[in-house]
Structure 1
Amino acid sequence: MKPLPVAIAVAVLLALLWWFWPRDKAPPPPVADASKAPVASTAPAAPPASAEAPPPAPAPAPVVEPPPRATVYFAFDRSALRPDDAAALDAFVAKLQARDYTSVVVKGYADRIGEAPHNDALSKKRAEAAVAYLTSKGVDAKRSRVEAKGESEPVTGDTCKDLGAEDAKNAKLVDCLEKDRRAVIEVAL
């Protein structure tokens, strides 16, 4: 076969492929010369409806920090604050001063060892000791309230059950009930 007829056959084949090949894209629209376009008005044209910006995303919900709260613990049959509780109360005061509050409620508690009237009085002294410390750090005493809960609302539940005699000489029981000897400081906003 001669090279000329092969070249012609290839050229015809390429022309047919080009002619019948599917075209996905439409040709771009002609660009109008802006200098030749008539000017009807100097006011800016309104943007087309499809060009409207999407509505703004909703703002994230504000993070609401819970009211400050603190708990301090006491030695058996004592109402004096422990030295290591000062840091917890100082942190509480710092959080409190950064917020607007209505009142501070300090609830004092006692463990179940001893007579109920004694534990009621002791729980009141514990709450008063916490209020005195808070007042010394700038908390308004007029907005502080003391509640004596006595041996009610123990947090230890049944964990200290069956540990022997219910008296101060039972060191195991005294240690187990430590979390019941507390003052809880809460804020009403």
Structure 2
Amino acid sequence: MKPQHLSWLSAAVALCVSASVHAQATPDQPLKVDRAGSGPVPYLLDSQDVITRNNFGQCWRTGYWTVELAANTKVVGSEFPAGCACDGELMPAGTCTPKAAPVVQPPPTPVAPPPPVPTSEKVTIPTDTLFAFDKSVLSAEGKDKLKTYADQLKTLNLEAVVAVGHTDRIGTEKYNKTLSEKRAAAVKSYLVEVGVPAERIFTEGRGESQPTTGTQCDAKGKEGPRNKALIECLAPDRRVDIEAVGTRR
């Protein structure tokens, strides 16, 4: 049986042989082309789709031959295209280089978890259960609330406790500043009594400068120690804000 395409390529074949002098194939290496498609092939094939070669092992090119086509024509059982066996020196760089085995990366080194971030907790204790009006002595109910708070602090690697005292607007600014400082000091004394380290507790008094009631009590009448309605309305302003900072255990 005559090789495929021989009838119309006879004139081109003679030229193609001379162009393939440096081909890398040898006669004992049959190159069966993978004919998955029906497109042109760069080399002359026999009836078994094996590339036809001369006695020197040189491949016969067809008129379709190009570097790109030779580099993309697959050979059965080989990872390299037909051009590597027939025209290896003409193939694009890397086309005929064996693929390196995939590098197995070692498992990543376990990363230690970051240290716990200090968490901040803020608790406001209502004055009507902590202090009586115009007083800096803790009430029994106020002590109970502070004891509960102190127990919560035991779950922290405690860094600091800040107690900030406040008053309502009844009275002079100077008097209220002093009263707020006494209230903060009373809170510190009791926290130390129930086991909170004294060196971790810091106090401050801000007097009447930071009310929480706004204007909602303006209609309660004249300011004074006998205006019970106003005193009751301003209760949220008479407070001690306590904030603890530490690392959660």
How far apart are residue 68 of structure 1 and its match? 5.5
Structure 1 length as normaliser, TM-score? Answer: 0.63
1:103 aligns with 2:157: no
Show CA shifts across 1:97-138 (max 9, x none): 111121100000010000000000000000000000000001
1:176 aligns with 2:230: no
Structure 2: runs of 5 or more not aligned: 1-115
* Paired position in structure 2 for 1:143: 200
How far apart are residue 86 of structure 1 and its match? 1.8
CA distance in 2, matches of 1:101, 1:87: 21
How far apart are residue 67 of structure 1 and its match? 2.3
Give the letter for the 2:125 counterpart.
Answer: T
Bigger Rg, structure 1 or 2: 2
CA distance in 1, matches of 2:133, 2:172: 14
* Paired position in structure 2 for 1:8: none
1:91 aligns with 2:148: yes
Give the letter for the 1:110 counterpart.
Answer: T
Give the letter for the 2:228 counterpart.
Answer: A
Coordinate RMSD, CA, aligned: 1.8
* Paired position in structure 1 for 2:132: 75
* Paired position in structure 1 for 2:224: 167
- Between 1 and 2, higher relative CO (CA 8 Å, sep ≥ 6) is seen in 1
CA distance in 2, matches of 1:67, 1:146: 16
Q: Which stretch has the larger CA shift, 126-135 or 73-82? A: 73-82
Structure 1: runs of 5 or more not aligned: 1-61
- Runs of 4+ aligned residues of structure 1 deviating over 6 Å after TM superposition are none
Q: Percent identity?
A: 38
CA distance in 2, matches of 1:172, 1:68: 29
Out of 171, 174, 197, the position equivalent to 1:114 is 171
CA distance in 2, matches of 1:129, 1:138: 15
Pairs aligned (count): 127
CA distance in 2, matches of 1:145, 1:66: 15
Structure 2 length as normaliser, TM-score? Answer: 0.48
- Summarize the alignment of residues 24-63 of structure 1 with structure 2, pairs less than 5 Å apart: none
